[in-house]
Amino acid sequence: MLLTFLLGLLANSRVYFIKNLLIKSFLGFYKPNLEEAISEDINHYNSYNDFFTRKLKEGSRVIDHADNVVISPVDGEIVDYGPLEGAQLIQAKKYKYPLIDLVGEENEEIFNRGFFVTIYLAPTDYHRIHCPFGGEIVNSKHLGTSLFSVNKTAQKSIPDLYIKNERSVLSIKSENFRYALVSVGASVVGSIVPFWTNESAQNRKSLIDEWNAGPDKNCKIKKGDEIAYFRMGSTVILILENYSNIDLDSLKENKLVKFGDKLVSFKN
126 and 75 Cβ atoms separated by less than 8 Å: yes
Nearest to 214 by CA among 238, 196, 199: 196
Burial 49-77 (b: 16+ CB within 10 A, else e): bebbbbeeeeebbebbeeeebbbbbbbbb
Local structure of residue 105 (DSSP, 8 states) = H
127 and 67 Cβ atoms separated by less than 8 Å: no
pTM for the whole structure: 0.93
Nearest to 133 by CA among 196, 83, 72, 215: 72
User: What rounded mean pLDDT belongs to the chain?
Assistant: 89
What is the CA 126 to chain-centroid distance, rounded?
Answer: 11
Higher pLDDT residue, 110 or 35? 35
259 and 132 Cβ atoms separated by less than 8 Å: no
User: pLDDT by residue (tens digit) across 117-176?
Assistant: 999 999 899 999 999 999 999 999 999 988 888 888 899 999 999 999 999 999 999 988
CA dist list (Å): 61 to 36, 69, 136, 257: 9, 16, 24, 11
In the chain, domain spans: 1-60, 64-266
Q: Quick one: pLDDT band at residue 223, thresholds 50, 70, 90?
A: very high
User: pLDDT by residue (tens digit) across 15-63?
Assistant: 889 999 999 999 999 999 999 999 999 999 999 989 999 999 999 999 9
Could you list the active site residues? Answer: 75, 130, 234
